[in-house]
Structure 1
Amino acid sequence: MAVERMDHVGVIVEDLEGARAFFEEIGLRAVGEARVDEPWAGRVTGLPGQRVELVMLETPDGHARLEVSRFLEPVDEDGPQPARSNRLGIRHLAFVVTDLRGMLERLARLGFETVGTVEDYRGIYLLCYVRGPEEIIVELAEEIGDPSGMLDPTT
């Protein structure tokens, strides 16, 4: 047996509409919404009595999906914690975009700023990290060259 494909990545937020607006602004599109409060869901997550609202977003090519969820019950009392870029665990989500600088201007109008600076990676990508909804780090990269040798340590 082997993995057939990666289906989606899940992100938990407090502000579902704000997160949806962020991810739609960078080019994802909503492909479904749901409210999940059946007992089976709590048994799967280990959170009996959970109630969740979610939106499933998809990249324009249809190859990647992002599930953005808001727990109505139980609520995470600690709230989002801004992690450093080297925090152990899932560090960031990455998207290839067009017109990176224009996108950053639009995201700034929504209140989202870069973590550091915009940089040129080996003439292949113009990239940066943005502190997205709920302190999630989102990498945005605009292709400016041939990415085929990107991970070749000899270049």
Structure 2
Amino acid sequence: MTIKRMDNVAIVVDDLDVAVAFFTALGMELEGRMPIEGSWAGRVVGLDDVRSEIAMMRVPGAPGRLELTTYHHPEAITAEPEVSPPNTLGLHRVMFAVDDIEDTLARLRPHGAELVGEVVRYEDSYLLCYLRGPSGIILALAQQLG
């Protein structure tokens, strides 16, 4: 048995419009948006009376998609602490390769992006940074040098 592909990574957000705007500013495209509800949805995720909405974001011209999900019922819960540090167990971050890390940060800051640490240079290979986006999502950006 072989894995055919990784379809997407799902991220639960509190405000779908804000998250879509943030990832659009990053350079992703909205592939589609739709409500998800009904008994089948509840059986898949193990919650009763699920009503949610998803927005599928894609990387233009490349593989890789994010499924942004907001829950209307039951409401999403917040992990403790509300803004978890990068060493918290579980899904850590999503990394994107970018052409210009400073330009990308400048586009994302008006959408609430904040650096977790600093933009650092790894040898002569990469500029790297972690940033926090909507709903506390941690992203990593990597700009290849040379």
Structure 1 residue 79: Cα displacement: 6.5
* Gap runs ≥5 in structure 2: none
Give 1:108's aligned residue. Answer: 109
* Residue pair 2:34, 2:55 contacting (<8 A) in 1 also: yes
* Gap runs ≥5 in structure 1: 146-155
Q: Secondary structure at the match of 1:104?
A: helix
* Residue pair 2:13, 2:70 contacting (<8 A) in 1 also: yes
Deviations 1:40-99, CA, capped at 9 Å, x for gaps? 000010112100111000012331010001000000243682111111111100000122
Give 1:91's aligned residue. Answer: 92
Q: Greater Rg, structure 1 or structure 2?
A: 1
Number of positions where the alignment pairs a residue of Structure 1 with one of Structure 2: 145
Give 1:36's aligned residue. Answer: 36
Paired letter, 1:29: E
Deviations 1:114-134, CA, capped at 9 Å, x for gaps? 101001112211110010111
Structure 1 residue 110: Cα displacement: 2.1
Whole-Å separation in 1 of the counterparts to 2:52 and 2:67: 12
The farther-off stretch of 71-80 and 115-124 is 71-80
Q: Secondary structure at the match of 1:116?
A: coil
The farther-off stretch of 49-58 and 80-89 is 80-89
With normalisation by structure 1, the TM-score equals: 0.88
Whole-Å separation in 1 of the counterparts to 2:13 and 2:22: 12
Give 2:61's aligned residue. Answer: 61
Whole-Å separation in 1 of the counterparts to 2:120 and 2:78: 33
Q: Secondary structure at the match of 2:105?
A: helix
Q: Once superposed, which parts of structure 1, at least 4 consecutive aligned residues long, lie more than 2 Å away?
A: 76-81
% identical equivalent positions: 39
The farther-off stretch of 9-18 and 57-66 is 57-66
Whole-Å separation in 1 of the counterparts to 2:74 and 2:108: 30
The alignment's C-alpha RMSD in Å is 1.4
Structure 1 residue 107: Cα displacement: 1.5
Give 1:141's aligned residue. Answer: 142
Paired letter, 1:139: A
Paired letter, 2:122: Y
Give 2:26's aligned residue. Answer: 26
Give 2:83's aligned residue. Answer: 82
Matched, 1:13 2:13: yes
Whole-Å separation in 2 of the counterparts to 1:10 and 1:106: 23
Give 2:45's aligned residue. Answer: 45
